Amino acid sequence: MRTEIIIFLIIFGVLFAAGCAGYGDSEEVAPAAPGEEEAEAIEPADEAGNDEEPEMEEEETETGAEVEEGAEEETDAEEPAAGAGEEIIDVEIRDFTYIPDTLTVEAGQTIRWTNYDTAIHNVVGSGLESDTLQEGDTFTFTFEEEGTYDYICTFHPWMEGTVIVEA
């Protein structure tokens, strides 16, 4: 009986080590944890020997959402926009929540919702109506008139958001 247990433990250890070893071969970069800065990927020089770094047009926030260069990262529940038409404000759909759930923008400002959940979502209400958003899909809307725009996800009605448009 003792020999069988030892043989079992040896086989288990070998299979466990072999299974774990396969995960180290991935070239995919693991996402940075909140609060950690993301390391830049090192790209090999091209065939002509050019060592110049490629230009970066977008950067990722700590939560993984892409932000256009020069755009400010949304951190507060309500954040005023810098100016009408200057940039696209991003709203993340993550963990069955709109982040941020309330925004204040100027008339003419554009907002882009991006679904980071594996579940489907949408943005519907107050003149807004997106298609069904799969993971990675986006919906963009430009707010031309001042007012308060309430919206929900019709698949998950507890998901609520508000856009306040000022002149």
Asked whether residue 51 is domain-assigned, the answer is no
70-91 pLDDT per residue, tens: 333 333 334 444 444 468 999 9
Asked whether residue 29 is domain-assigned, the answer is no
Asked whether residue 105 is domain-assigned, the answer is yes
| Domain tally, the chain | 1
140-167 pLDDT per residue, tens: 999 999 999 999 999 999 999 999 999 8
Asked whether residue 2 is domain-assigned, the answer is no
Asked whether residue 87 is domain-assigned, the answer is yes
97-134 pLDDT per residue, tens: 999 999 999 999 999 999 999 999 999 998 899 999 99
Residue 89 belongs to what domain range?
A: 71-166
Asked whether residue 7 is domain-assigned, the answer is no
Instruction: Please give the structure tokens belonging to residue 69.
Output: 């260069």
